[in-house]
Structure 1
Amino acid sequence: MKKILYFLFIMPVAIACNKSTEGDIAADSYDIEMMESVPEKIYAAGAAKDVRFASNPQQIERKVIKTANLNIQVANLDSAKTNIDRIVREYNAYVSADNRDNNNYRFTLNMTIRVQQDQMEKMVQKIEEQASYVHYNNINAQDVTEEFVDLNIRLKNKKAVEEQYVKLLQRANKVEDILKIENELRVIREEIEAKEGRLKYLESQVTMSTIHLTAYQDVYHVERAPAKSFLLKIGDGLSGGWDLLKNIVVGLAYIWPIWIVGGLLTFMAVKRIRRYRMKRTKVV
């Protein structure tokens, strides 16, 4: 009778323990399954938010990148450069690139200037005042609102995925599961850093507009030959005399018909004169 009572007492306890163990195993399995389904659930929720966000376009702040390309001719490049540097300081801008190229015919200045977007057009007008002639002034506007919104939503979703992976990592017990979660965390964090970097770049381009400036000055330069020494002048004289002699000989060769006709006339004249003298001698 005592054995039966002991058995009846032990069985419920054993069954309860068994259920508890199965529950822990099921919880671990559920965590791993959740880890695999986390991205899909988070991205699905993000997509729904994206649809709601797009349905209210008036709430979207436009993100526009402005770029100006300016090519001008100036009377004096040094003076123009001094004035342009003053204009840069006046508008709290900065020069990100400054290159100069000089040759015998043109002095050229290439500058890249970054300025607050709302000040760009005023600054361009100020720079144009330094020009004697404006070849072109092009201002381009690139709307990156769609990319900006998309990056923000994707970044928010990835951070939510990262948070879920961190929670799963805190609950994981197996080494295999811990390694798997840490690898997923590494990948998602690299993606987050890439998107944050892209967002910072876009924000910088939107906030600060870019002016690509080319200014040049035409130079009318006449090269002078260096002075020659006395010996060089004598050498040039001898060379010039020899060239003159050759030209005379060539010129005489060109008039050979005149030499022949002249020779014949001279021969005939000499012959007649001799005959005439011989006749006079006989008469005397």
Structure 2
Amino acid sequence: MRKLFLPLCLLVLISGCKKSELDVANSSPAVSADKAAAVAEYEVEAPPAPNEVHQVAPPNSISEKLLPDENKSAQSSVASKKLDTIAKKVIKNGNMRIQVVEIKKAQNQVADILRKNEAYIQNEQFQNTDMEENLDLVIRVPHKNFDALINSFSEGVGSVLSKNISSDDVTEEYTNVSIKLANKKIYLEKYRDMLRSASTTKDMIQIQETIRELEDEIDVAEGRLRFIDDRVNYSTLNLSLYKEKVRSSATSKMGFGSRLADSVTEGWNSFMSFLLGIISLWPFLLIIPVIIFLWRQWKSGRSQKN
């Protein structure tokens, strides 16, 4: 019996050892997976390095709130780049005085020249005196046709008495106004956002007043830009057509008889003007007899007293 008991004990011990080894072998992959997950979790949840922390502090004042955000700053930089590429702005102006033989004929020639150069008359003024006839025109012409217009007037209309052409470069002014306008529009949007979130009546009134001032300044700036664009796109020419009426004896083609008749006519016109001037004084002529009558009455009364 003892001989049978010992082998059975040895068999039980050997089977128990094998089972524990199998359990350890089966449990080791799970343990390694748990360790890997823990390591991965540690790596994910690990705090960033001090150099990698990026935090944006909230604005501490209203002035900081009014500063453009990152998107506005990007838009401003893009706008600045566009402003850097503004084409050169040059305003051309001119003044011309031309002596012509006949005003009507010269006026027709001017109309043909304007039509060919896509120009138009902005203002027209005519004067007719005893000495001369003047037709003053303010002409607007596209910038590209300005030189051609000047040459056309110089060649075929009449004798040029005077000519003055000037150019004014306004690129710097146009750029400065454009930059200020862009900045004012950005701040206007910021103030409108502040108005939506205003909590007190005092803040609302103050913000509305600032918005009104900004809108007025924006309107002025936009008007200035439109004015510059108009003067750049269309040049201005002040043209004066002049005809002299007075004829000298050396240049006149009229004979002595014609000039004598003109002199008699002018003398008669002068006499009629003098006579009409005297007649226009008739109220004063009526007062003179009254003054004479009163003077005689006063003189006769004085003599009777003596």
Distance, in Å, in 2 between the alignment partners of 1:39 and 1:216 is 61
Counterpart for residue 210 of structure 1: 236
Q: CA RMSD in A?
A: 3.2
8 Å Cα contact 1:74-1:130 kept in structure 2: no
Deviation for aligned residue 1:129: 2.7
Counterpart for residue 268 of structure 2: 226
Partner amino acid, structure 2, of 1:154:
K
When residues 189 and 76 of structure 1 are mapped into structure 2, their CA distance, relative to the original with a 3 A threshold, is same
Deviation readout 1:23-55 (Å, 9 max, x if unpaired):
xxxx9xx79x4268637999xx79x959x759x
Counterpart for residue 80 of structure 1: 106
Alignment of 1:241-252 (within 5 A): none
1:184 aligns with 2:226: no
Q: Which runs of 5 or more structure 2 residues have no equivalent in the other structure?
A: 1-57, 248-261, 272-306
Deviation readout 1:72-109 (Å, 9 max, x if unpaired):
11111110011112222222211111111111221111
1:194 aligns with 2:220: yes
Distance, in Å, in 1 between the alignment partners of 2:88 and 2:67 is 29
1:132 aligns with 2:158: yes
Partner amino acid, structure 1, of 2:194:
L
Q: Number of aligned residue pairs: give it.
A: 195
1:92 aligns with 2:118: yes
Partner amino acid, structure 1, of 2:97:
N
Distance, in Å, in 2 between the alignment partners of 1:110 and 1:39 is 54
Distance, in Å, in 2 between the alignment partners of 1:148 and 1:190 is 18
| SS of alignment partner, residue 129 of structure 1 | helix
Counterpart for residue 62 of structure 2: 34
When residues 41 and 150 of structure 1 are mapped into structure 2, their CA distance, relative to the original with a 3 A threshold, is farther
Q: Which runs of 5 or more structure 1 residues have no equivalent in the other structure?
A: 1-26, 229-284
| Structure 1 outlier segments of 4+, above 4 Å | 39-42
Counterpart for residue 161 of structure 1: 187
Deviation for aligned residue 1:126: 1.3
When residues 39 and 226 of structure 1 are mapped into structure 2, their CA distance, relative to the original with a 3 A threshold, is farther
Distance, in Å, in 2 between the alignment partners of 1:135 and 1:39 is 60
Deviation for aligned residue 1:177: 0.9
Report the TM-score, using the length of structure 1 for normalisation.
0.61
| SS of alignment partner, residue 125 of structure 2 | strand
Equivalent pairs: percent with the same residue?
A: 27
Deviation for aligned residue 1:175: 1.0
Partner amino acid, structure 1, of 2:96:
L
